[in-house]
């Protein structure tokens, strides 16, 4: 039966059922099924002229297209339609939510200035509405943009402001996430003690909130600091804990990065053959994911490890492959690998 043929009360019930069904499928990663139910809910709202609900449905569809299906064009179309409706009916909370979605899509596209404008507009609305949770998350989003643009002082400023808001309204999951963000900034700035404190505090919150991905990041952070301090046993423990979680949740990219980090620890211990096997496992995943910068970095590590093992022909082969990839994606790193390759070739002559 067409949605226009049912009563408004029945349409309300069907809308609620569609929303619940969509949420069920999203939790299980069945994105096509989620889209089908979100579109059913959208049809119900359009049939009965429910503009606020239509805006909500379009935001939900945008989220599925962005997070689940990586269809940025369709995600942007839905979020922009939601924004237009929210402004038409003067729904400020809906407007802020749509701006948030648009900003996230712009981040995915690397359009940082536009993303910053979208999230700042959402932040202004959150403050106008005195909506603490919305304000906290928009502060975090802006911090992420500055972080991506390597403006670390500004990123830290926004992360700390977001953390303060998270604590104010008791969002422990958000607090743990922000502590990891702040820890990473301190680590980049060489403030290892402060970074470690943030990672450990985030880790201590995880049993309360059950956020596996963030727990894995906390373990990785502690592992990084331990490795830099030469505390290799501690680093191994935390890297292995992080690796186990990423494998459990199916995050292949982070699995590859953790394998590479563990390989570097074996390299530090001069256990070169075990290091190479971990680098190779990481490389296999990165090739599967077509991550060219990650492949190049791992190939370079393998080449340098073979050099230290005295296997110069193998070292030359891997460094040459890394150089080919880096000349396409990263000129500065390509120059560093070129020097590594020249060093190995001079030993072969």
Task: Give the DSSP per-residue string, 205-266.
Answer: HHHHH--HHHHHHHHHHHHHHHHHTT-HHHHHHHHHHHHHHHHHHT-HHHHHHHHHHHHHHH
Look at 57-61, 116-120, 201-205, 231-235 and tell me which has the smallest mean pLDDT: 57-61
- Extract long-range pairs of 245-253: CB within 8 Å, 24+ residues apart: 245/212, 245/213, 245/215, 245/216, 245/219, 246/216, 248/212, 249/212, 249/213, 249/216, 251/213, 251/216, 252/285, 252/288, 252/289, 253/285, 253/286, 253/289, 253/291, 253/294
Give the CA distances from residue 73 to residues 99, 105, 122, in Å, rounded to whole numbers and listed in that order: 15, 9, 21
Q: Is 1 a residue whose pLDDT tops 50? A: no
Look at 57-71, 104-118, 230-244, 332-346 and tell me which has the smallest mean pLDDT: 332-346
State the pLDDT confidence band at 329, using cuts at 50, 70 and 90: low
Give percent of the chain with pLDDT exceeding 70. 94
Give, for 312, the enclosing helix (H) or strand (E).
helix 312-329
Rounded to an integer, the average pLDDT of 278-285 is 98
Q: Are 188 and 151 in contact (CB under 8 A)?
A: no
Rounded to an integer, the average pLDDT of 277-300 is 95
Helix%, strand%, coil% for the chain, nearest 5: 85, 0, 15
Q: Is 7 a residue whose pLDDT tops 70? A: no
Q: What is the pLDDT of residues 232-253, one digit of tens each?
A: 999 999 999 999 999 999 999 9
Directed axis angle between helix 212-228 and helix 252-268, to 10°? 20
Q: What is the DSSP secondary-structure string of 34-81? A: HHHHHHHHHHHHHHTT-HHHHHHHHHHHHHIIIIIS--HHHHHHHHHH
Q: Of 95, 59, 105, 96, which Cα lies nearest the Cα of 79?
A: 59
State the pLDDT confidence band at 318, using cuts at 50, 70 and 90: very high
Q: Where do the structural domains in the chain lie, given as residue ranges? A: 171-249
CA angle 196, 200, 134 (to 5 degrees): 105
Q: Give the fold, CATH level 3, of 171-249.
A: 1.25.40
Rg (the chain; Cα; Å): 24
State the pLDDT confidence band at 312, using cuts at 50, 70 and 90: very high
Q: Are 59 and 19 in contact (CB under 8 A)?
A: no
- The mean predicted confidence, pLDDT, of the chain is 91
Rounded to an integer, the average pLDDT of 299-324 is 95
State the pLDDT confidence band at 50, using cuts at 50, 70 and 90: confident
Q: What is the pLDDT of residues 105-115, one digit of tens each?
A: 999 999 999 99
């Amino acid at each position: 039966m067409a949605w226009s043929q049912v009563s408004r009360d029945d349409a309300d019930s069907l809308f609620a059922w569609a929303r619940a069904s969509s949420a069920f499928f999203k939790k299980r990663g069945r994105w096509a099924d989620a889209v089908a139910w979100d579109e059913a809910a959208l049809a119900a709202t359009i049939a009965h002229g429910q503009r606020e609900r239509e805006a909500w449905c379009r935001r939900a569809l945008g989220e599925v297209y962005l997070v689940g299906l990586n269809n940025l064009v369709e995600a942007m179309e839905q979020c922009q339609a939601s924004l237009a409706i929210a402004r038409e009916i003067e729904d400020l909370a809906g407007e802020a939510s749509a701006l948030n979605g648009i900003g996230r899509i712009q981040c995915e596209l690397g359009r940082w200035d536009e993303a910053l404008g979208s999230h700042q507009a959402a932040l202004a609305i959150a403050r106008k509405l005195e909506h603490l949770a919305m304000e906290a998350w928009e502060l975090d989003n802006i911090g992420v943009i500055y972080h991506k643009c390597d403006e670390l002082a500004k990123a830290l400023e926004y992360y700390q402001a977001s953390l303060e808001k998270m604590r104010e309204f008791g969002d422990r999951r958000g607090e743990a996430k922000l502590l990891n963000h702040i820890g990473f900034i301190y680590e980049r700035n060489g403030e290892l003690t402060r970074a470690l404190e943030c990672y450990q505090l985030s880790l201590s919150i995880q049993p309360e909130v059950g956020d596996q991905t963030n727990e894995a990041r906390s373990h990785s952070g502690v592992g990084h600091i331990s490795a830099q301090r030469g505390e290799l046993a501690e680093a191994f423990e935390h890297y292995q804990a992080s690796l186990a979680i990423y494998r459990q949740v199916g995050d292949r990219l982070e699995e590859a990065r953790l394998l590479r980090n563990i390989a570097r620890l074996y390299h530090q211990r001069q256990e070169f053959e075990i290091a190479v096997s971990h680098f190779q496992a990481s490389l296999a995943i990165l090739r599967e994911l077509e991550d060219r910068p990650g492949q190049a970095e791992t190939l370079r590590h393998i080449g340098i490890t073979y050099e230290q093992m005295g296997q110069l022909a193998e070292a030359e082969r891997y460094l040459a492959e890394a150089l080919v990839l880096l000349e396409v994606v990263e000129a500065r790193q390509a120059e560093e690998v070129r020097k590594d390759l020249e060093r190995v070739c001079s030993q072969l002559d």
